[in-house]
Structure formats: C-alpha cells, structure tokens
Amino acid sequence: MNKIFCIIGKSSSGKDSVMNELIKDEELSGIKSVITCTTRPKRKNETQGKEYYFLTEEEYQKLKNENKIIEERNYNTVQGLWRYFLADTNQFDFEKNSYIIVETLEGFMALKKAFGVDKIYGIYIFVEDDIRLLRAIEREKKQENPDYKELCRRFLADCEDFSKEKLKEAKINVKIENISLQDTVNAVKSDILKIMSK
C-alpha cells in the first residue's frame, strides 16, 4: 500500500544520514522524496533541493499568501527566525507512488490530519542523548562558523518537542535505534518494503 513514510527524530539522531542512504537504494527507487522548504541558512555540506529547498522569507510569504503551505513550524534561533514548511499538496499521487520525508513530530501529526492515518507511516530514529550530543558537536565542528549556542538550544528544545507524552500521543508506527548506521538503514528499509507489500 502506498504511503508517506515519515522519518522522525531528535536533532542529530541520524535522520538525514538514514534518508541519504535510502534514496540511493535501488530497491526503494519507487519511493519519491518529499523535499520540504526552509528559510534557515544552508550548511556547508548541503545542496539546494536535496536536504531542503532553501527559500527566502519573501518566497515563504508568497506561498503563504497563495495558501500553499500544508504544515509549517517556526523557530526563533539565535540567528533569527527559521521556518520549515511543506508546500503544495498536488505532488502526492498514491495510486502511483509512495513518498518519504524527514518530519518533526508535529509535522507527522499534521500529515495524518491532512491525509488520514492510513496514508502516513512514522519511523522514529533515536539514539541515547550522550552519543547524540557528541555526534552533534562533531558535525558542528565541520561547519565554517560552528554555532554551539544554537546546537545547545536545539538539544534542549528536543526534550520538550519529544516529551514522553507527545511521543505517546503521536502513535509512531516503529522505533529504531541508530547505533550502526548500516544496521539502521537496513532495518528502516525492510520495514518500508514490508508495509508497501501489504
């Protein structure tokens, strides 16, 4: 059954790393990536249209005025307001394709509301906080202008965004621990193939 598969997880849990491996996998070539938009600055190793469409605040305002935003979340960061949003529903054709997207918990809930519970499948990627923080610091070190203040803000915000209560309420379909990246990718892949073949 075709669905939108949502990869969900805290900051630096490994969502993008998992996603990058899945989209390269030929067995999953029938699944289209849903690329969301953001107004946050592009990181050094990111590519326009790959991880996100990096748009300006003006471009966001235009889409908003045209009622093309399905769901959005906004963060007041130390570098200013960063928006993350999904625009335009026309891209989904469940007769033909399944889709995959990296989502927040709120985004996952919004998609269930917009498309119905049966169409949305949540995959929660997690790793213990100590490992996650170390991975976040290592990733940040490689940036041209490392922003450890923002890293800390996001780390703390995750505690609230992914509280036990919210995770329970969201009813995510499956939870997978990201110790070895390859094992995680394999687990996610086999779960997706199982669901699609039903």
Ligand X SMILES: Nc1ncnc2c1ncn2[C@@H]1O[C@H](COP(=O)(O)OP(=O)(O)OP(=O)(O)O)[C@@H](O)[C@H]1O
Number of residues that bind ligand X (CB under 6 A): 14
Q: Which of 3, 4, 5, 16 binds ligand X (CB under 6 A)?
A: 16
Q: Residues 159, 164, 167, 171: what is their CA dihedral angle, to the nearest 10 degrees?
A: 180
Cβ at position 142, least distance to ligand X in Å? 8
Interface stretch with ligand X, choices 6-14, 59-67, 70-78, 93-101 (CB under 6 A)? 6-14
CA 101 – CA 8 distance, rounded (Å): 9
Residues from 116 through 135 that contact ligand X (CB under 6 A): 135
Phi, then psi, of 127 in degrees rounded to 5: -150, 150
Cβ at position 91, least distance to ligand X in Å? 22
CA 184 – CA 126 distance, rounded (Å): 10
Residues from 164 through 183 that contact ligand X (CB under 6 A): 178, 180-181
168 Rama class: left (phi>0) / alpha (psi -120 to 50) / beta:
alpha
Closer to ligand X by CB, 68 or 139: give it. 139
Assign 119 to helix, strand or coil: helix
Residues that bind ligand X in the complex, under the rule CB under 6 A: 9, 11-17, 135, 138-139, 178, 180-181
